[in-house]
Amino acid sequence: MNNKHKLASVSAACLLALPLALSGCGWFGGDSSAAIDPPPGDVEAQMLQSSENTLDTGVMAPVSDSDITAADSGTSGDNQASAGDAAANSAAAGAGSAGAGSTKSGAELTTVYLQNESGLLAPMALDLSTGNKDDALKQSLEALVQGGGYAANLPAGFSGVLPQGTAVNGVKVDNGVATADFGGSFSSYAPANERKLLEAVTWTLTGQKGIQSVQLSVDGKKLGEMPLKGTPLDRPLTRSIGINLPAQGPSVLNSSAVTVFFSAASPSGVQYYVPVTRFVTPGQDRLKAAMNELIAGPESQDGLETVMTSDTVLDSVTEDQSGVITVSLKDDMFNDGGQVPAELLESVVLTASLNSDEAMVQVRMNGKQTVTGTDNVDYGKPVSAPQVINELPL
C-alpha cells in the first residue's frame, strides 16, 4: 500500500479542538501529545501562539501556503475558480461533497450539509436551480439558513445550521480560498452549535470545484475567531476539522482521524448516508483503519445504522499500480454468492474513496470477484464514488 495512506498523529492543539464542545483552542498546533481534558489557560494560550502548524494528511490535511497567503492578503476574486484550480480539486467534488450533479431528469443538484433530527450533519442533494446560477456558492449557504428562502427545498426532517435571519452577503474565491461573508443574525447561533456551523459551511463550500479552504467574515470584516465561544479562525478551514465528531473527543492521547459513511433513515424511511469522523491509533494504514471503523459500526446513541453484519471481517485492502483499491471482505451470510445489500457496498466505496483521494474501488466478498449489489451493480469491477448522494424526496 502506498505510504500516502499511512496515518500520523494529530497535533496536540488539533486534538483539543476536535470535541463538539470545543472552545478557545485553535485548529492547528504543535507536535506534542495532549490530554483529553481541556488544558489550563496558560498552557492553552501557549498552544494558540505556537508557530508550528502541523497536521496529519488526508482528513487532517494542512492548508497550503498559497491558501494562507491569499487569505491573509484579504484579496478577492471571481466566484468561479480557474480551470487549473478545478482540475486540481476535482477530488473534492466526489463522495458526499457539495458539487454540481444531475438527476436522471437532468435537473442540476447542489449538495449541502444539513442537520438531521439527531443533530448530525449529512450531505443532501438539492435542486437550487430556481436562483441565479452565477450565485451558486451563495445559494448553497443560503440553503443552510433556518427558515430561509430555500426552506421549502429541504427534505422533511432536515434543517440548516445557520440561525434564522442570517444574511449571506456573498462568497468570493481567490486561489482556492472561499471567503463567506455573513450578516444579519449570523451571531445569534446557539454556542453549542458553533463547531457544527463551521463544519456545515466548510464541508459545503469545499465540495465545490476549485475550493480548498474556507474563511469567514461578517459584514466584510474577516473573523479572527467565532463570535460566541471564540473558536480561533487563524487559518482557513479545510475538511481537516472533521465532521460529526464523537461527543467525548478522542479516547487516546495520540490519535489520527478517518471519516466513514454510516447509514440513517429519513422520517419517511428513505435511507441516506452520514459521514462520521472517527479517531484511531496512529501508524495504521489509513484505508484499513477506515474499513475497520466502518465494520465496528456507529455509536448506539447517534441514531445511525450499521451497514455491515456482525460477522463481517476485513480480509485485506490493497492498491494496484493503476491506483484501484480492492477491499476484500468475508461474511458467511453471503457465501451463496447472491446479491449483497447495496447499502453495504456503497458505504465501502464512499469510505474508501474519501480516504484515498477519490480512487476507484472494487470489492471482493468471500474471495469472489463478482459482487453484485441489490442495485444490480457489479462492485467486483472498479467503480468510483458518485458525485451526488442522498437525493431525498421533499
Kindly state the cell numbers that stand for 291: 474499513
- Supply the mean pLDDT for the chain: 78
Residue 96 lies inside a defined structural domain of this protein: yes
pLDDT, greater one: 309 or 52: 309
Residue 326 lies inside a defined structural domain of this protein: yes
Domain housing 290: 256-365
Average pLDDT over residues 302-314: 92
Average pLDDT over residues 126-152: 87
Tens digit of each residue's pLDDT (9 = 90 or more) over 13-49: 343 344 333 333 333 333 322 222 333 333 323 323 3
Which residues, in sequence order, are CB contacts of 305 under 8 Å at separation 6+? 262, 263, 264, 265, 298
pLDDT for the residue 293 = 96
Residue 370 lies inside a defined structural domain of this protein: no
pTM of the predicted model, to two decimals? 0.77
pLDDT for the residue 352 = 96
pLDDT for the residue 369 = 94
Share of the chain above pLDDT 90, in %: 59
Lowest mean pLDDT among 64-68, 325-329, 359-363: 64-68
pLDDT for the residue 108 = 83
Share of the chain above pLDDT 70, in %: 70
* Last residue in a domain, options 204, 237, 270: 237
Residue 280 lies inside a defined structural domain of this protein: yes
Residue 30 lies inside a defined structural domain of this protein: no
Residues 214 and 323 in one domain: no
Residue 244 lies inside a defined structural domain of this protein: no
Average pLDDT over residues 78-87: 34
With 90 as the cut, is the pLDDT of residue 89 above it? Answer: no
With 90 as the cut, is the pLDDT of residue 112 above it? Answer: yes
Residues 360 and 229 in one domain: no
Residues 232 and 303 in one domain: no
* Last residue in a domain, options 210, 237, 264: 237
**pLDDT bucket at 61, cuts 50 / 70 / 90:** very low
Tell me how many domains the chain contains: 2
Residues 140 and 280 in one domain: no
Average pLDDT over residues 368-375: 96
pLDDT, greater one: 314 or 96: 314
pLDDT for the residue 137 = 94
Residues 264 and 193 in one domain: no
* Last residue in a domain, options 237, 271, 298: 237
With 80 as the cut, is the pLDDT of residue 270 above it? Answer: yes
Highest mean pLDDT among 30-39, 300-309, 344-353, 356-365: 344-353
Tens digit of each residue's pLDDT (9 = 90 or more) over 203-234: 999 999 899 999 999 999 999 999 999 999 99
**pLDDT bucket at 131, cuts 50 / 70 / 90:** low
pLDDT for the residue 107 = 66
Residue type, 251: S
pLDDT for the residue 357 = 80
With 50 as the cut, is the pLDDT of residue 82 above it? Answer: no
With 90 as the cut, is the pLDDT of residue 185 above it? Answer: yes
Residues 75 and 218 in one domain: yes
Residues 219 and 297 in one domain: no
Residues 205 and 260 in one domain: no
Residue 7 lies inside a defined structural domain of this protein: no
Residues 276 and 306 in one domain: yes
Residues 209 and 94 in one domain: yes
pLDDT for the residue 190 = 96
Residues 193 and 312 in one domain: no
Residues 140 and 286 in one domain: no
pLDDT, greater one: 103 or 78: 103
Residue 18 lies inside a defined structural domain of this protein: no
